[in-house]
Structure 1
Amino acid sequence: MTIAGRWQALEPAVRSAALNSARDRAGVPDIERRALWASRPSGAVLERAAADRLRPWPRLLLSDFARYWRDGVRTAYENPAGELRQRTSTAVLAAALTGSEEYLDEAADGLLLLCEQTTWCWAAHESFATARGEVVADPGTPYLDLGAAETVEVLAWADLVLGPALDERVPGLRRRIRSEASQRVIEPFLTDRRWHWLGLDGHLHNWNPWIHGHVLAAALFLDTDPVRREQVVDLVVDGLDRYLQALPADGGCDEGYAYWWNGPARLASALELLDRITLGAFDPWRCAPMEELARYPQRMALGAGWFVNVGDGSARPNPDQPWDVLHRWGRRTGDREVMAQAAGYRDRSTAVVGLGRALVALVDDDWREAAVVPEPLPRSSWLPDVQLLVARQEGGSSAGWTLAVKGGNNDENHNHNDVGSFIAALDAVPVLVDLGQPTYTAISFSDRRYEQWVVRSEWHNVPVVDGREQEAGSRWRATDFAVHGDDRAELDLSEAYPTGSLRRSVSLDRRDQVVRVVDNWAAGTEVVEHFVIAGRPVAHEPGRLVVETLGGGLAELGWDAGLGAGKLETLAVDDEMLERVWGSVVHRLILAAGNNSFELTLTRGLR
């Protein structure tokens, strides 16, 4: 049964009781439960909150907002806006944990600052202002985007946990919060069904569960009109159902690991809240493909904090993710490996990743007490719907080679032109790499997206064919993708390029500890191989390149010496997000491949 089917199958009295008692059933008690809050771990939160009080509040300036239109810079406004939400959330947590008036005042200051923003929308999404030819948002026509959703989430959960104390300390603030939430989020959600993230046109992506989940919290905790609250929740359930049904049955995520946390994991948070308020009667966890979706992070793990990154995402993402969400997901589906992976990251994650998630984590004793065991690293994972194979030398270990091979098409969410590309990691550390996400700017999601070098196919591990890169669009795809055993992928890349005929085989020879890439093409096709490399080249000669990896190991690339040494380029990395992962430079090996076939091998180098 679908999510929507399960919701509608509940007895009307059960749904009514769930909505009317949502604040009591959400699992997060208010500030007056002092014995509970005083017993929670508070060190990191209070340390951060105390440090915040020594700094001025972030300033949100029109000149920074306008930079999106002036020079394409998004972060000048989005960063301080995020800091305001983060600081307010930290103060709310500190107030709940301590009950102190200083943190309650700090939280109230932040909540009112959020209410006083002209817009909660990020400039990159403010199409209403763009349509008017302006750079100033109109409060009378609010745009419901991720920024608005993230802001109302803070207001909703703050109201839930601090409500009685806010009424006593700052009477009127909660009325203001409800008014702003209604005007900026709830009414636009109910009255305008043209929002692209609803997915009514069949195009679903992470905005859907991300925004729906926060609208759900706003309706349950802030809306006092029972009729309107029910309308909102029914629409939220329909939207979440639409998203889940659009996800592949294999549990894959075409947006990649980084956006899994803001796609499927956002879905899980919203479904968990609905399940809580129905006292478990909703039980969405057996809806396909929920169990498979929970396994995606372990399938993408390379080990040591490195992950397979396709599309926009970092190969070494910040560990500050809401791993408690995944742990509860695993508990509800009975998947011990899902729980084990989550528990392994519990003490590495210290940031407040969303106020609602932080509050739920604080009161989850099973999460706090979960045993930490070695991270589950599957020997092989094949996701046929998204066409992604990940194979490692030995299951349960990051030692040796791990190989990831991608098919798909060039019209995926957060797309890079990377059909047929692969990642090879030695002892968990990528050597032949996907560079991942650069800092977003005004062109990141525009028709100029492929001016960015890191999303172009010539900066992925695929060839240039007949002098042409891959192009963007669903017509450019892999065909005949077949997996043999659990360690060899074969695919036809002829339809990934405007001309030429090309087949690729990528395999991991576990016995000899070799990664092997073989390309074959029809006569008359010209192939120039491209390989993107992280680390430090230490030897380069015809048929051989030795690289010291970012982890300190040695990897040797080998090919037919008759093809020469090829061209080894070094490119300075001028993007902060990329530099944090790969360092100040990356390299690209370019080889004219000769007649009809080419073979590359990767082995462990010797010192």
Structure 2
Amino acid sequence: MNKFFLIVVLLFTGKAKAYEPRDLLQKKATLQQVKTSLVSKDQWIKYPAYANCAAWDKLTGPLKKELIQEGEKYLNYEWKVIRATDYLEYERSGSRVAMENPFGSNNTALSHLLLAELAEGKGRFMDQVINGVWQACEMSSWALSAHLGAQKSRRSLPDFNEQIIDLTSGDLGAFLSWAWYFLHNEWDKTNPVISSKLRNNIEQRILQPYMARSDYWWQAFNYKPGMLVNNWNPWCNFNVLTCFLLLEDDADKLSAAVHRTMISVDKFINYTNEDGACEEGPSYWGHAAGKLYDYLQLLSYATNEQINIFNEPMIKNMGEYIARSYIGNGWVVNFADASAKGGGEPGVIYRYGKAVGSIDMQKFAAYLVNNKQGNNEVNAGRDFFRTIENISSYHELLKTALALPSATCSWYPQTQFCYMKNKAGFFFAAKGGYNNESHNHNDVGTFSLYVDETPVFIDAGVGTYTRQTFSSERYSIWTMQSNYHNLPMINGMPQQFGSQYRAKDVVFDAKKSLLTMDISGAYNKEAAVNSWVRSYTLSPTGGLVIEDVFQMTAAKAANQVNFMTWAKPDISQAGVVLIEKDNRRIKMDYDASLFEVSIETIPQTDPRLSKVWGSELYRLSLTAKKQLLRGKYKFTINKY
């Protein structure tokens, strides 16, 4: 396989968590039941026709002016050509943005223009909408350069012999299906070729390949134990479902396609843990559980609520995860590639909460809107369904009582995520798990600590995606390595990548506010460790105590316990580390007879990281003075 397009084993192979064949959707309806449940577009689409200006005025309400003004910014937009060399740059330098930036710019323009035309209804934006649709149809593919390695050619130029359904090709297919639905009659007044060309494009790029192929990895039709089924599955299937529901008029073909998406989405639900935690982190929740919600809601609409699984407890668990992962002031619990900033999309959270009967989610969504946290944009870009649903539920959301979830602890036993809060303003989060989770970092046993909504001990997250990010070179990137998480290097060795590297004996005691696990299994044999039991205890009114109790088979190199911090630690006083940030003052006590202390300053030149953390992060390293076969380290963290 071409080295530029190696689909990383960490994403698609390796023994993973337990897969439970729940098949909730298939148990809800057979193929024949799907056919009898589906209703016509006129019955399930609740949005007004383009020509019904009064209904659009009512729907958009106070948003109308804003939607039109945003569209006006693109009345003279120059549509960007995505050049062959923009695609080739992914091979040549690893850059994704060379292709993604102009592509994204066009999609943003088109989304604003379409909404403005629907809101105003006077034809003022129509020519530019047609230009955007025509430009999209002239592209060889709607897939990203970074995803074209799934082609049989394994190259980054779109191969006209093969259509790939990825996240963006699916998104654009679904978006353009809505554009066709609302405007094709108007386009026909200009020239019927516009609507027929677009419809033909969507059929060839989405409808036909989805039914003909079973080898798109995200479909998971050929699921085998150990395969990963992540956010791509509900995301892509939602887009496919949208295209079929809006464009397919043959009842047999439509019911077959809908049922096929149900089989595929069941693979994602089967893969997801019963506890509902998103192992990819909160910033991926909108693409994973959030996209599952979109899929299920669309399916429910199209079947007049006859195919509906919102009453399933795990679907509710998947939704409430996003509310419980919120720390405050825009900060969220982040593991793996997720960012520490971003509280979610209020509209999706609110509607999901209504669907599953979660008051916590509805109030949390209202909190985000009223406190201007998370992504409060009504326009969801190329995700037209979310946009139109945001508009439809906007007034209701604004009237909802607001509150943050009151739970003092959240324990996800299968995913092994633990959150604890106390009266002193501490918010603690830690994970067990294994080192082949979706968007994995080698981070078994790591923790984060926030004090009064300010990050103290952190998980850095991930930088801008490049070819290297999802390649065999992934773990050469510092953010992916355990030695740049709040974890020990044992005998000088970091954790290793692979499903066999995992936490053992993970126990959470809610009464004692105690989480304990043996993380020795995350290290290879070179670490020569029999056990390394890490425990976290959060006092109800005080601080956090971290203990490491270990047994080694050999002492090869000094152990090193690392802590990542946002503020620069003060290590001038032996036995004490002082950290101050935003008027929050924290001290960590340690045994000075056991450790030498050092600080590494890590410049943040990557915009994805510096946007969150600023110009620098710090690694605090406590290196053992003695090499011991067994021992105990203790760290006590309090305010001062």
TM-score bracket, normalised by the shorter chain, equals over 0.9
Query: Which residue of 566, 569, 583 corresponds with 1:537?
Result: 569
Matched, 1:26 2:45: yes
Q: Equivalent of 2:165, from 118, 141, 144?
A: 144
Distance (whole Å) between structure 1 residues aligned to residue 191 and residue 585 of structure 2:
62
Question: What is the identity, as a one-letter code, of the residue corresponding to 1:586?
Answer: L
Distance in 2 (alpha carbons) for counterparts of 1:133 and 1:276: 39
**Aligned-pair RMSD on alpha carbons?**
2.0
Q: After superposition, what is the alpha-carbon deviation per residue over 1:278-322, rounded to whole angstroms, capped at 9, x for unaligned?
A: 2222221023411111110112111111000011110012x5x54
Q: Give the superposition deviation at 1:52.
A: 2.7
Determine the C-alpha separation between the residues in 1 that align with 2:329 and 2:132: 37
In structure 2, the partner of 1:253 is 278
CA distance in 2, matches of 1:12, 1:591: 61
Query: Partner of 1:280 in structure 2?
Result: 305
The Cα offsets for residues 121-173 of structure 1, whole Å up to 9 and x where unpaired, read as 111111255x5375421223111111211110210122233343333345332
Task: State yes or no: 1:180 paired with 2:201.
Answer: yes
2:367 pairs with 1:344: yes
8 Å CA contact 1:86–1:352 kept in 2: the answer is no
Which residue number corresponds to residue 303 of structure 1?
328
Cα deviation, 1:175-218, whole Å, max 9, x if unaligned, reads: 11110011111111111111100123242111100000000000
- Flag the 1:507–1:109 CA change in 2: closer, same or farther, 3 A: same
Kept after mapping to 2: 8 A contact 1:7/1:237: no
8 Å CA contact retained: 1:322, 1:357: no
Structure 2 residue 599 is the aligned partner of structure 1 residue 599: no
- Pairing 1:117-516 to 2, within 5 Å after superposition: 117-127=139-149, 131-132=152-153, 134-199=155-220, 200-202=222-224, 203-317=228-342, 321-346=344-369, 348=372, 349-350=376-377, 352-353=379-380, 354-364=383-393, 367-394=396-423, 400-485=425-510, 487-498=513-524, 499-500=528-529, 501-511=531-541, 513-516=542-545
CA distance in 2, matches of 1:134, 1:249: 38
CA distance in 2, matches of 1:342, 1:10: 38
C-alpha distance in 1, partners of 2:415/2:34? Answer: 39
Q: Where does residue 5 of structure 2 map in the other structure?
A: none
Q: Deviations over 1:488-526 (max 9, x none)?
A: 101001111123121100121122x21111101115455
Q: What secondary structure does 1:214 align onto?
A: helix
Distance 1:128 1:371 in 2: 45
The CA distance in 2 between the partners of 1:598 and 1:47, in whole Å, is: 60
SS of 1:132's partner is coil
Query: 1:589 aligned to 620, 623, 630, which one?
Result: 620
- Output the CA distance in 2 between the equivalents of 1:439 and 1:420: 25
Return the offset for 1:115: 1.2
Offset at 1:62?
1.6
Deviations 1:398-438 (A, max 9, x none): x6111111100001010000001000111122211111121
The one-letter code matched in structure 2 to 1:235 is: R
Distance in 1 (CA, whole Å) between partners of 2:45 and 2:634 is 57
The match for 2:10 is none
User: Residues 227-272 of structure 1, C-alpha deviation per residue, up to 9 Å, x if partnerless?
Assistant: 3222211111111122112110011111111111101110110110
- Equivalents in 2 of 1:12, 1:559: separation in Å? 63
The aligned amino acid for 2:211 is L
Q: AA paired with 1:503?
A: V
Between the aligned residues of both structures, percent identity stands at 26
Equivalent residue for 1:558?
589
Contact kept in structure 2, 1:126 and 1:143, CA below 8 Å = yes
Moved more, 245-254 or 218-227: 218-227
The code of the aligned residue for 2:539 comes to D
User: Structure 2 matches for 1:11-160, cutoff 5 A?
Assistant: 11=33, 14-16=36-38, 18=39, 21-22=40-41, 24-39=43-58, 40=60, 41-127=63-149, 131-132=152-153, 134-160=155-181
Q: CA deviation at 1:24?
A: 4.0
Distance 1:13 1:189 in 2: 19
Provide, for residues 559-581 of structure 1, a one-character-per-residue CA deviation record: whole Å limited to 9, x for no partner.
11324550111011121100011
For 2:280 and 2:587, locate their aligned partners in 1 and report how far apart those are by CA, in whole Å: 31
Change in CA separation of 1:541 and 1:5 when aligned onto 2, cut-off 3 Å: same
Q: Distance in 2 between matches of 1:537 and 1:507?
A: 22
1:42 Cα offset (Å): 2.3
The 8 Å contact of residues 433 and 444 in structure 2, kept in 1 or not, is answered as yes
**Highest relative contact order (Cα 8 Å, sep 6+), 1 or 2?**
2
Q: How many residues align?
A: 593
Give 1:9 shift. Answer: 8.6
- Distance across 2 between alignment mates of 1:12 and 1:144: 24
1:363 to 1:164, Cα distance in 2 relative to 1, 3 A: farther
C-alpha deviations, 1:47-83, integer Å up to 9, x for none?
A: 3222233542333122111111001001111122122
Letter in 2 for 1:228: K
SS in 2 for 1:93: helix
Deviations 1:419-460 (A, max 9, x none): 010001111222111111211100111111101110111100
TM-score normalised according to structure 1 size: 0.93
- Asked if structure 2 preserves the Cα contact closer than 8 Å seen for 1:28 and 1:360, the reply is no
Structure 1 residues 9 and 120: CA distance shift in structure 2, 3 A: closer
* 8 Å CA contact retained: 1:298, 1:378: no
In structure 2, the CA distance between the partners of 1:461 and 1:255, relative to structure 1 (3 Å rule), is same
Q: Contact 2:599–2:621 at 8 Å: present in 1 too? A: yes
Comparing 523-532 with 488-497, which one deviates more in the overlay?
A: 523-532
User: Does the 8 Å CA contact 1:27/1:276 hold for their aligned counterparts?
Assistant: no
Classify 1:504/1:192 alpha carbon distance in 2 versus 1 (closer, same or farther; 3 Å): same
**Residue type of the partner of 1:242?**
K
Q: TM-score, with normalisation over the residues of structure 2?
A: 0.89
Distance (whole Å) between structure 2 residues aligned to residue 552 and residue 9 of structure 1: 61
Cα distance in 1, alignment partners of residues 469 and 34 from structure 2 = 46
Residues in 2 aligned to 1:533 and 1:346: alpha-carbon distance in whole angstroms: 30
Q: Pick closer, same or farther for the CA change 1:148–1:196 going to 2, 3 Å.
A: same
In the TM superposition, residue 541 of structure 1 has moved relative to its aligned partner by: 2.7
Between the aligned partners of 1:37 and 1:539, the Cα distance in structure 2 is 62
On the 8 A contact 1:120/1:147 being kept in 2, the answer is yes
Q: CA–CA distance in 2 between the matches of 1:124 and 1:404?
A: 33
CA–CA distance in structure 1, aligned partners of residues 363 and 136 of structure 2: 38
Alpha-carbon separation, structure 1, partners of 2:407 and 2:125: 45
Instruction: Tell me, in whole angstroms, the C-alpha distance in 1 between the residues paired with 2:536 and 2:133.
Output: 53
Shift of the 225–177 alpha-carbon distance from structure 1 to 2, 3 Å rule, reads farther
